[in-house]
Structure 1
Amino acid sequence: MSISSMMSTSLSALQANQRALNTVSTNVANVNTEGYTRLDTTFDSLSSKHGSFGVQVNVQRAADKFLAASEMRTSATVGATSTVAQFMDRLQGLLGNPSDGGTVFSALDNVLGSFGGLALDPSSSLRQGSVVSDIENMLSQVNQTADEISALRDEANAQLRSVIGEANTLMQTIADLNASIQQSKIAGSDATQAENEQSKLIDRLSQIVDVRTEERNLGGVNLRTTSGFLLVSHEPASFSMGDTIGLQGYASVEVSHSTSSTKLSLDKYVKSGEIMGLIQARDVEIPAIGVAFGEYASGLIDSLNAAHNDASAVPAPGVLTGENTGLISTDTHGFTGTSHLAITDANGEIVKNLSIDFTAGTITDEAGATTAIGTTVGGLATSINTALGASGSATFTNGVLQISAANAAGGDGVAMRQDEAAPSDWAGRGLAHRFGLNNIISKPTPTNFATGLSGTSAHGFAAGQSISFEVRANNGAILSTVSVSPVAGGTIDDVIAQMNTSLNGFGTVSLDGDGRMSFKGANNTQASRIDTIEDTTQRTGSNISLSQLFGLNSVGSADRAKDISVRSEILNDYGRVATAKPDLAGKVVGDSVLEKGDGRGATGLSLSGDTIRSFGAAGGINAQRTSINDYAARLAGVAGAKATSTAQAAASAEAVKNEVATRRESVEGVNVDEELVKMTQYQQAYNSASRMMQAATEMFDTLLRMV
């Protein structure tokens, strides 16, 4: 070996070990840096070709792509499950336990107890005011809880927008680093710092959306979702929120590339991560509990209103004005059984007494005169008006039935009660209750979707009106968006047929015997529900839309718990609280049927919490017949079970992620002891190279002196 080759070899060794020592120093300095990947140094011999001698050093990250991929998958799962768990825990906290005081469910117990106290002294204005106050407090809690559920959904939507913005920034930076890494590789310079920074960004992005990496030939990575959609190459994809339209009020998440103007629905390509957790919370879990809470509110309203409609204030009110039912005068009513209607004077004595026997199809007054009952809603109102004669009147206008005493100014009033042996019934409601004639709780739109309508009923919508809705999967993904314009003059069956045609195999809409409209997804699809996004339909006269009438969207179904209040007539006059039960069957003119000391109406209201009623399927709770108290317990149980199961899923995912992260850290992390051993090794090698350089120098000097 020549002196020059010795010097060249020594110099390369000095440089290589100096760089190795710098690498060790960098590793030790970053021992506590989260996400830092250890740098490894390898030495390769230089060939003697072209006069090259010594060693060259290569520095590269100690990255394990398989463990990294595994951690990315588990990070996405943790991101999704923990996000859902957080929202479900807060949602369960809003509802609480029915047995705990101060919850929205326990407020009903206060109302029922207050009615029990009123039954002991039904003429007490103080007790009447206390009842009304307790109902107002209960409804305030129901309204507030519904608003907070909506606010929780809005929060999920706001977080979704924020996370989407962060993901876009991450993808842009990762793409920029791809270019930087590629330039460094081509130039032969060190790219490990950029690779480390890119790895940290990918780790964070993997929490937001499920990704996998592909190494690029010239350096850097391509990022794809686990389903294969390209997110980052030399240019990043971009996430965005679609247009917010109509009743649903929440936009879908879309993805597009800079090279294309086409925007695709992100939920078709992303399976996990914080984005999907937020979509799951916003579009599935929170709405499900919201709809179930809306069903609870509907049952609560129905239970109290049913009892109140089967009782009367003392004296009876001069006018009973119903709520807007959404019915039109040509609708065929489906009443069976018997209801009693009387006009009473200021002393509670009979002026006119009607027995409305729907099974027999006749109205019989106290004198035995009969009137045939019309088969339609309008015909029924006309029949009652005819049977009342000069004592009163009945009208049906714009979905509202009104019954008045002719001498209301003189103290006459209207009292109604169900027949005890064969109560009137149409889709689960008696005559007074069906029309809301003596409701104690009021809401502008229908709260019960058991409309009582049949498929042959005229739909009542004018030409040019339409309804648009989305077909959604179990995970909230939008599978299809369709629109239907009812043909003027058609029936509800015709509208259903149009809807089923437009669904194009995703599922079918049907009407049950109580007039509830429901959707069932086809077995070969993921379709689980339909949500109305825009509805311009209005039933002629009532002005109630198709979605309001049948509850064809989650927002509308949940909103049944909003804007509910004590009826204004009762707020203005506590004496309108129905505390008595008029004994109308078989009574004739002059018989006393209302007394101030009668508390049976208040007793009936106090027991309404245990009355068995029909509840529709909502929020994972099956359709059933049960009491409002039992339904409240089941709703709280479902919310609690959801919170527990999502928390367990998040904990399990976190445990798996931690295990993978620990294994990855053991491979990629910095071990100070190992680095100190390497430092000693490289120092000794550096010293050896220095001595070799010194020996070569001395040899060269000796040769010079010899010359």
Structure 2
Amino acid sequence: MINNTSMRTADLLSIARSGVDASNQLLTTAGHNIANVNTEGYVRERTSFVAQLTGGVGQGTTERIINVFAQNQLRRDTTLESHYQEYWDKTAVVDNLFASEANSISSSMSRFFASIQTASDDPTSIAARQLLLGEANSMIGQIGTMAGFLRQKEQELNLEIQSNIDRVNSLVKSIAELNDAVRVNQANNRHVEPGSLKNERDKAILELASLMSIETRVSANDDGAVLVNLTSGESLVLQDGSFNLFTINNSADLNYKSLQLNSNGKPTTLNLKETNMGGTIGGLYRYRDEVLESSRRELGQLALAVSETMNTQNRLGMDFDQQLGTDIFTLPEFTGLNYKGNSVGTEITGRIAQGQASQITSADYQVTFDAVTAGAPPTVNVTVAMLNPDGSPVKDVNGVAISQSYTGLTAQNGVFNQVMGGIEIEFNSGASYAVGDQFLLQPTKNTADKIVVSMTRPEDIALASPIRVEANIANLGDVELVSSKVPNTLVDNTFLNSAASAFNGAGGIHGPGAAPGGGVGAPAQILFTDVDEYQVLDSAGNLITTVSGTTDFTNMLAQAAVSGAAPPWPAAFSALDNYPGYDISLQGVPKAGDSFSISYNTDGLNDNRNGLLMADLQNIDSMQLNNSGSGNRVSFHEAYANIVSDIGQKSASADISLKAAQALKSQSKDWFESISGVSLDEEAANLVRYQQSYSAAARLLGTAQDLFNTILGIVR
């Protein structure tokens, strides 16, 4: 057994001096804590000593009092709160916009369709027709206002993303520089922790955690440095340098900002998934992809669907000047956005195909060139893929990405080729494309505020049907007209367009010699030859075909095209898509000799049949509910209600998540502060204790000095 007493060789003076120094250091530490009680990010410090074997107090060590588990939990909860705070703040603004009754597009649509009904009630009233045009302008103006607001929000978002990324870069650089300073300071003084430097570094790391989800670990070199990386694994601060984040423009959509991680001084570039970033930046990107971009496209889909549906129905009617109807609205064309690496000078243009409103989706479309064939005209093979706003593929109910290939499409200026999604594309660069060229079409993102009411004359509203069906006054049976329909009024007397109808564009339908084939004319009469047999005749009484053995008189011309015999339905009629473009349905029991005539509705100014169809369009489920086209269709009002409810649901969910995140952060902050925060009561008690130890050590020092003086006196 070692006798420690025999090893205490220090004299009383050195023991007393070490006690004074130790107490002074303790008082300094306590004073430093008290002085920084209100300093943000300050971690309280503690000085500890060990006893010298030779006597007295040994070297003191000053270090911060910190629990790394509490600190890491605070960082994680800070990331979570910042994420939901930013997401909710931005989503709530859009939610308030759509939920506001003053901005309600549903109300504008209701007034517009009500004005159509009013005009249909008195189709000869020019005032009612003028009111209809006024409400059309009001509805399109309301849609344009909301679309413009969302476009402005995209611009603000991009600026905010850039500002936050700049701040991230600055913080990463600061953390790396503070690491260097800590290394130097700690190497020069092993017994005093560089608390101020570490506090500044921890403060920078906490701010970085509020911007994105990060993890930290202590350097393996035990030099005081802290390494930082994203939660997904990518490094931000390394032992020998740092990575910097910066925004880059998407190769096609210049307004769609994406993230890359670029190494500082090394040829390394990593693409990042923005919505997984967490923190403020992750919240901004999540708001962009889940709320802003989707709502812009869904609003555009609604605007295009309403406009093209009304255009289509107006084209199927007859206006006040007894002409076939024209478009009420002008829909914008949209230019394909170039991907990097495309052939120089090439472009494509898209537009909504006439009559394809029900096929419009809110998706983007990526067009990839598979083959280019020179010729007169040149042709191209392309693959069209549907994309979500974030660039991921749209998938069907089976989880398969939706795309479709097209071959032999004409690549010529002025020629549009219809593809999926209700759009058609003009490949106006001819044979200049190259295999692998890609373009991005965004039919609904930037079009809602570019739709205009092009119709200025109220007389051009086509409230009447262009077809008149009249029963012969000599009919003896009880058969009567149920309905007539006009699905096609395209005028092309050359029949080069396969969509041509029987309307000649001069206030009539094709007579003998003018119809396809140059023989009989368009159907103009139904003549019953028996209770279950009827003939279809042209305007000159020429027999087109005979239908036998039927008692169902629904869509009689469609039946004739399929079942007509002796002679059969003309092949030249069948070669077209929808000729003659009209049909009738009867009911009852006919007598032989009963007939019905079909003619152009000349002087039918009091007719409102097409107007009633236009007014009823608001009640028809005609819009795509989802991009895959596999779900149920919805009406215009239901589509808008879905937009509003979807944003509202996301806003409410974000609010709940935010409150939960705030509670978690409050708990973790309290935990951290209970360990690392400065307690004035505790420090005050320490001051009294350290002051007493200082006084005692000083008194011991005085005693040692008195003894020394006594010894000197004896020697003298």
TM-score, length-normalised on structure 2? 0.67
2:302 pairs with 1:439: no
**Displacement, 1:269?**
11
Query: Which of 315, 324, 327 is matched with 1:414 structurally?
Result: 324
Q: Following the alignment from structure 1 to structure 2, what is the Cα–Cα distance between the partners of residues 284 and 180?
A: 42
Match of 1:79 in 2: 82
Q: Matches of residues 245-644 of structure 1 in structure 2 within 5 Å?
A: 245-247=251-253, 249-267=255-273, 271-316=277-322, 413-414=323-324, 438-445=326-333, 484-488=369-373, 495-496=382-383, 519=395, 541-542=414-415, 549=423, 555-567=442-454, 570-571=455-456, 573-585=457-469, 593-618=602-627, 623-644=631-652
Deviations 1:22-53 (A, max 9, x none): 222222222233322111222222342xxx74
Contact 2:274 2:285 (C-alpha < 8 Å) held by counterparts: no
Question: Max radius of gyration: which structure?
Answer: 2
Contact 1:110 1:134 (C-alpha < 8 Å) held by counterparts: yes
Gaps of 5+ in 2: 336-342, 349-365, 404-408, 426-438, 471-523, 525-596
Match of 2:151 in 1: 150
Query: Which of 207, 222, 225 is matched with 1:220 structurally?
Result: 225
Q: Following the alignment from structure 2 to structure 1, what is the Cα–Cα distance between the partners of residues 445 and 42?
A: 48
**Displacement, 1:198?**
0.9
Q: Following the alignment from structure 1 to structure 2, what is the Cα–Cα distance between the partners of residues 499 and 299?
A: 21
Match of 2:587 in 1: none
Kindly tell me: are residues 222 and 605 of structure 1, through their superposed partners in 2, closer, same or farther at Cα, counting changes over 3 Å? same
**Displacement, 1:640?**
1.0
Match of 1:407 in 2: none
**Displacement, 1:574?**
2.2
Q: Following the alignment from structure 1 to structure 2, what is the Cα–Cα distance between the partners of residues 274 and 171?
A: 16
**Displacement, 1:519?**
4.8
**Displacement, 1:7?**
2.0
**Displacement, 1:77?**
2.0
The amino acid of 1:40's aligned partner reads R
Secondary structure (helix, strand or coil) at the match of 1:562 reads helix
| Percentage of pairs with the same residue | 21
Deviations 1:116-171 (A, max 9, x none): 33234433333322221221121112122122222222222221111110011111
Q: Following the alignment from structure 2 to structure 1, what is the Cα–Cα distance between the partners of residues 10 and 604?
A: 125
Q: Following the alignment from structure 1 to structure 2, what is the Cα–Cα distance between the partners of residues 705 and 185?
A: 48
Contact 1:238 1:255 (C-alpha < 8 Å) held by counterparts: yes
Match of 1:511 in 2: none
Secondary structure (helix, strand or coil) at the match of 1:615 reads coil
Contact 1:465 1:485 (C-alpha < 8 Å) held by counterparts: no
TM-score, length-normalised on structure 1? 0.67
The amino acid of 2:332's aligned partner reads P
Kindly tell me: are residues 202 and 521 of structure 1, through their superposed partners in 2, closer, same or farther at Cα, counting changes over 3 Å? farther
**Displacement, 1:529?**
8.7
Match of 1:186 in 2: 187
Kindly tell me: are residues 202 and 681 of structure 1, through their superposed partners in 2, closer, same or farther at Cα, counting changes over 3 Å? same
Contact 1:72 1:203 (C-alpha < 8 Å) held by counterparts: yes
Q: Following the alignment from structure 1 to structure 2, what is the Cα–Cα distance between the partners of residues 555 and 40?
A: 62
Match of 2:48 in 1: 42
Kindly tell me: are residues 32 and 90 of structure 1, through their superposed partners in 2, closer, same or farther at Cα, counting changes over 3 Å? same
Secondary structure (helix, strand or coil) at the match of 1:252 reads strand
2:116 pairs with 1:229: no
Kindly tell me: are residues 599 and 487 of structure 1, through their superposed partners in 2, closer, same or farther at Cα, counting changes over 3 Å? same
The amino acid of 1:25's aligned partner reads G
Gaps of 5+ in 1: 317-412, 416-437, 448-461, 468-480, 501-505, 509-517, 531-535
Kindly tell me: are residues 267 and 661 of structure 1, through their superposed partners in 2, closer, same or farther at Cα, counting changes over 3 Å? same
Kindly tell me: are residues 42 and 589 of structure 1, through their superposed partners in 2, closer, same or farther at Cα, counting changes over 3 Å? closer
Greater RCO (CA < 8 Å, at least 6 residues apart): 1
The amino acid of 1:261's aligned partner reads P
Q: Following the alignment from structure 2 to structure 1, what is the Cα–Cα distance between the partners of residues 148 and 459?
A: 31
Kindly tell me: are residues 446 and 200 of structure 1, through their superposed partners in 2, closer, same or farther at Cα, counting changes over 3 Å? closer
Q: Matches of residues 101-116 of structure 1 in structure 2 within 5 Å?
A: 101-116=102-117
**Displacement, 1:192?**
0.6
Q: Following the alignment from structure 2 to structure 1, what is the Cα–Cα distance between the partners of residues 20 and 161?
A: 54
Kindly tell me: are residues 482 and 686 of structure 1, through their superposed partners in 2, closer, same or farther at Cα, counting changes over 3 Å? farther
Q: Following the alignment from structure 1 to structure 2, what is the Cα–Cα distance between the partners of residues 694 and 82?
A: 63
Aligned-CA RMSD value: 3.8
Contact 2:80 2:278 (C-alpha < 8 Å) held by counterparts: yes
The amino acid of 1:224's aligned partner reads N
The amino acid of 1:414's aligned partner reads L
Secondary structure (helix, strand or coil) at the match of 2:46 reads strand
**Displacement, 1:538?**
5.8
Number of residue pairs matched? 531
The amino acid of 1:203's aligned partner reads L
**Displacement, 1:606?**
3.0
The amino acid of 1:146's aligned partner reads A
Contact 2:469 2:598 (C-alpha < 8 Å) held by counterparts: no
Contact 1:314 1:594 (C-alpha < 8 Å) held by counterparts: no
Match of 1:132 in 2: 133
Q: Following the alignment from structure 1 to structure 2, what is the Cα–Cα distance between the partners of residues 269 and 146?
A: 24
Contact 2:52 2:58 (C-alpha < 8 Å) held by counterparts: yes
The amino acid of 2:659's aligned partner reads A
Q: Following the alignment from structure 2 to structure 1, what is the Cα–Cα distance between the partners of residues 95 and 125?
A: 39
Kindly tell me: are residues 53 and 554 of structure 1, through their superposed partners in 2, closer, same or farther at Cα, counting changes over 3 Å? farther
Query: Which of 51, 55, 66 is matched with 2:69 structurally?
Result: 66
**Displacement, 1:592?**
5.4
**Displacement, 1:224?**
1.6
Match of 1:683 in 2: 691
**Displacement, 1:565?**
1.0
Kindly tell me: are residues 57 and 589 of structure 1, through their superposed partners in 2, closer, same or farther at Cα, counting changes over 3 Å? closer
Q: Following the alignment from structure 2 to structure 1, what is the Cα–Cα distance between the partners of residues 707 and 344?
A: 107
**Displacement, 1:65?**
0.7
Contact 2:116 2:615 (C-alpha < 8 Å) held by counterparts: yes
175-184 or 296-305, which deviates more = 296-305
2:98 pairs with 1:95: yes
Q: Following the alignment from structure 1 to structure 2, what is the Cα–Cα distance between the partners of residues 624 and 135?
A: 27
Q: Matches of residues 626-665 of structure 1 in structure 2 within 5 Å?
A: 626-665=634-673
Q: Following the alignment from structure 1 to structure 2, what is the Cα–Cα distance between the partners of residues 641 and 653?
A: 18
Contact 1:614 1:626 (C-alpha < 8 Å) held by counterparts: yes
Kindly tell me: are residues 68 and 232 of structure 1, through their superposed partners in 2, closer, same or farther at Cα, counting changes over 3 Å? same
Q: Following the alignment from structure 1 to structure 2, what is the Cα–Cα distance between the partners of residues 248 and 489?
A: 32
**Displacement, 1:312?**
2.4
Query: Which of 14, 19, 25 is matched with 1:19 structurally?
Result: 25
Contact 2:465 2:601 (C-alpha < 8 Å) held by counterparts: no
**Displacement, 1:441?**
1.7
The amino acid of 2:305's aligned partner reads G
Match of 2:16 in 1: 10
Deviations 1:39-83 (A, max 9, x none): 1222222342xxx74233222111111111112122222222222
